[in-house]
Amino acid sequence: MMTRIRPARKNDAALLSAVERSAAQRFRMVPGHEGVAKGSTLGEAVHLRCIRAGTCWVAVDEHDAPIGFLSAEAVAERDLHIHETSVDEAFQGSGIGRALLDAAIEGAVTHHLAALTLTTFRDVPWNAPFYRRIGFKLLAMSGLDERLSMLLRKEVEEGFAEATRCAMRLPLDHAKTNFRV
């Protein structure tokens, strides 16, 4: 199937929760993380904010319908924080997630940002290990800025086990020499 990545448009926003729910089904088979498959989604309002800012990208099928997305937001004109990356369960494992990441890295360079940040699961193969291969560094809990430590605290309040979560950062000088777009 032909897939292409493009900036998301306003009318994509309502379609992204279904993609996120489908993507999360991957967690049904992960011991200890089965609950993620039934978790809440990012919500249309957040997607719309990211779309307005030009920092939401979608992977679309041949009918221009979203089958994957990456929604992110610039913080303090410094970091592009990735709220969520999701690829419909039926299309996972064929390079779409990596292509969305490449688009976000290119977008962050275009927006003159210093880094990308995110929070994720430490030990799920397509989470921290995947981001590490792209060049994201695991941040020590003791060295986190207020924003990222608050975000991790909120995730724990919402039910994630503290030890399973981490924050990561990709400095863009490094990314410029690595991304594949």
Ligand X SMILES: CC(C)(COP(=O)(O)OP(=O)(O)OC[C@H]1O[C@@H](n2cnc3c(N)ncnc32)[C@H](O)[C@@H]1OP(=O)(O)O)[C@@H](O)C(=O)NCCC(=O)NCCS
55 contacts ligand X (rule: CB under 6 A): no
CB 79 within 8 A of CB 116: yes
Q: Which of 10, 90, 93, 176 binds ligand X (CB under 6 A)?
A: 93
92 contacts ligand X (rule: CB under 6 A): yes
CB 84 within 8 A of CB 73: no
- Number of helices followed by number of strands (H, E) in the chain: 6, 7
* Minimum distance of ligand X from residue 26's CB (angstroms): 5
User: Radius of gyration over alpha carbons of the chain, in Å?
Assistant: 15
* Minimum distance of ligand X from residue 99's CB (angstroms): 7
Give the footprint of ligand X on residues 99-158 (CB under 6 A): 118, 120, 125-127, 130, 133
3-state secondary structure of 11: helix
Binding site for ligand X (CB under 6 A): 23-24, 26, 85-87, 92-98, 118, 120, 125-127, 130, 133
